């Protein structure tokens, strides 16, 4: 059989060329050609024949949905409860999971800890690293106390060799660290190029389904997802989880953004320590633990990620701007555009003159939240700093703010309120639409229903 030939395909218009070109002759796009394996070169005639016979309803490859026998999906524990929860209750056999994150955030640490736990539970685990030598991995495993006979380590970057290993070793779980370092012999481009990343993932995908083998792919992502490699994998894999956090903070958030076997978004919280990652049982408590007492510009908001409510502290600092006409607006952990919008609403609807003020808003603990239910917390923190009046520290703010300054309802208010009550908060400012809700009766907390941002400020400032 002839070796599959590769060709270069424009990702914009589909133009095919035998060699790489900087500019696509068809659509004139620059840098749009990516190397791909020419699949039709593998005996195209035969496939056409198959397709004809498929028109026949007696073809065994076609089944009525009611006839399909489904083996009971037994999820396997990853050995880390917080990780299991993020995946929707454990690992599904034959699932392909992409674990993305910034360089150095702790991806290999999480994988090693989880794979060790799986090995200790009796699974044969194969951890293939294209980045680190077995000695380096051993060092980490010793530091994390993750040594197990069934945890098999291998340094390899050729995907064909990895597939060969699967045949020999028959592992029950496989990790590739990281997808950008592997290459297939079918393509000439360098490891890490889009073509390579996609082809390697495709080969692993087929193997993963054929063997019903759960596979983790680790992928580096830059802040804006600029390295297109892993981003372009998102539609191939079953599950995409991102590991994020500020490297200067100890907390790490594991976030599921796509899951064919469970709900999204879902999240887990970990603390990074020299002995490895430790799941955080009560994240709200930790994120609020450093909250200063009786200060201005600090508000508590309740956010919800998947099934998990989380109380967070929003901090705002409003100071007279030194640069005339160009006040600064900075948001850390929050959507910058959303904060700018809230400031505009406050100027227009509350007559606050914020034009000459620098405004900095920050989520404590290195968290990132983009939910609109945070609006009320953000706006009240800004107002508190601007007017130099501390907010009631026992009140939690929940609500989205509309363009007219109205407070709008949020999804799933109840779990947020229950979390606030659990942590001992005495009062919650909530959208007035919640009054109609029948399920809020059992919440042991004072609820202040507000229609507008102005009403909310009257209550807490
Ligand atoms: N000796 C050590 N003591 C304490 N913490 C350490 C030590 N070595 C590494 N770490 C922590 O582990 C983090 C790196 O973890 P890890 O290698 O799992 O990240 P990664 O996401 O796989 O990185 P990469 O992008 O390099 O693959 C460091 O940022 C640091 O916080
Ligand atoms: Mg790593
Ligand atoms: Zn083109």
Q: Average per-residue pLDDT in the chain?
A: 88
Q: Is 259 in the pocket of ligand 1 (CB under 6 A)?
A: no
- Ligand 1 atom with least separation from CA of 111: 18
Q: List the residue whose alpha carbon is closest to atom 15 of ligand 1.
A: 106
Q: What is the dihedral of CA 94, 168, 179, 187, to 10 degrees?
A: -110
pLDDT for 370-403, tens place per residue? 899 999 999 999 999 999 999 988 999 999 999 9
Distance 109 CA to ligand 2 centre (A): 7
Q: Is residue 10 lining ligand 1, measured as CB closer than 6 Å? A: no
104 lines ligand 1 (CB under 6 A): yes
What is the tens place of the pLDDT at every residue in 224-265?
A: 554 456 667 888 899 999 998 887 888 899 989 899 988 877
Ligand nearest to the CA of 247: 1
Q: Is the CB of 106 under 6 A from ligand 1?
A: yes
Sequential pLDDT tens for the chain (461 residues): 555 578 888 888 888 898 889 999 989 989 888 888 887 544 444 444 444 444 455 787 888 888 877 766 789 999 999 999 999 899 999 999 999 988 899 999 999 999 999 999 999 999 999 999 999 999 999 999 999 999 999 999 999 999 999 999 999 999 999 899 999 999 888 888 888 888 999 999 999 999 999 999 999 876 555 445 666 788 889 999 999 888 788 889 998 989 998 887 788 899 999 999 999 988 888 888 888 888 899 999 999 877 788 999 999 999 999 887 889 999 999 999 999 999 999 999 999 999 999 999 999 888 888 899 999 999 999 999 999 999 988 999 999 999 999 999 999 899 899 989 988 899 999 999 999 888 887 888 999 999 999 999 999 98
Distances (CA, A) of 110 to 94, 216, 272, 396: 20, 11, 10, 33
| Ligand 2 geometric centre to CA of 199 (Å) | 21
Pocket probe mutation, ligand 1, options 108, 175, 242, max atoms within 8 Å of Cβ: 108
Our answer on whether the CB atom of 221 is closer than 6 Å to any ligand 1 atom is no
What are the residues whose beta carbon lies below 5 Å from ligand 3 (ion)?
A: 10, 12-13, 15, 24, 26-27, 29
């Amino acid at each position: 059989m002839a070796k599959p030939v590769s060709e270069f395909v424009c990702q914009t218009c589909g133009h095919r060329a035998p060699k790489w070109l900087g500019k696509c002759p068809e659509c004139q796009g620059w840098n749009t050609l990516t190397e791909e394996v020419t699949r039709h070169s593998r005996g195209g005639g035969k496939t056409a024949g198959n397709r004809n016979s498929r028109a026949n309803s007696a073809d065994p490859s076609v089944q009525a949905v009611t006839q399909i026998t489904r083996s009971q999906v037994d999820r396997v524990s990853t050995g880390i409860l917080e990780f299991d929860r993020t995946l929707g209750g454990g690992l599904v056999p034959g699932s392909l999971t992409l674990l993305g994150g910034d360089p150095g955030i702790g991806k290999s640490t999480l994988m090693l800890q989880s794979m060790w736990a799986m090995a200790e539970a009796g699974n044969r685990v194969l951890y293939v690293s294209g980045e680190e030598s077995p000695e380096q991995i051993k060092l980490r495993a010793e530091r994390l106390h993750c040594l197990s006979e069934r945890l098999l380590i291998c340094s390899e970057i050729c995907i064909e060799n990895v597939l060969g290993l699967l045949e020999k070793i028959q592992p029950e779980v496989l990790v590739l660290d990281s997808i950008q370092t592997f290459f297939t012999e079918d393509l000439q481009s360098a490891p890490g190029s889009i073509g390579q990343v996609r082809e390697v993932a495709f080969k692993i995908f087929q193997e993963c389904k054929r063997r019903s083998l759960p596979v983790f792919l680790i992928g580096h992502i830059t802040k804006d997802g600029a390295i297109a490699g892993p981003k372009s994998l998102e539609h191939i894999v079953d599950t995409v989880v991102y590991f994020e956090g500020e490297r200067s903070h100890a907390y790490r958030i594991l976030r599921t953004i796509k899951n064919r076997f469970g709900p999204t978004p879902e999240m887990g919280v970990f603390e990074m320590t020299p002995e490895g990652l430790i799941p955080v049982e009560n994240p709200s408590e930790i994120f609020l633990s450093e909250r200063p007492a009786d200060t201005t510009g600090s508000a508590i908001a309740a956010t919800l990620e998947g099934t998990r409510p989380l109380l967070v502290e929003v901090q705002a600092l409003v100071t007279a701007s030194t640069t005339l006409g160009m006040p600064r607006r900075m948001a850390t952990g929050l959507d910058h555009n959303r904060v700018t919008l809230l400031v505009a609403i406050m100027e227009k609807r509350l007559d606050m003159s914020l034009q000459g003020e620098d405004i900095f808003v920050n989520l404590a603990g290195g968290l990132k939240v983009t939910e609109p239910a945070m609006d009320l917390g953000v706006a009240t923190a800004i107002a508190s700093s601007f007017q130099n009046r501390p907010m009631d520290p026992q009140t939690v703010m929940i609500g989205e703010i509309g363009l007219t300054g109205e407070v709008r309802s949020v999804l799933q208010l109840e779990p947020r309120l229950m979390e606030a009550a659990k942590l001992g908060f005495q009062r919650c400012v909530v959208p007035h639409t919640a009054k109609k809700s029948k399920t809020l009766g059992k919440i042991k907390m004072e609820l202040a229903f507000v229609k507008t941002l102005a009403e909310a400020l009257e209550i807490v400032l």
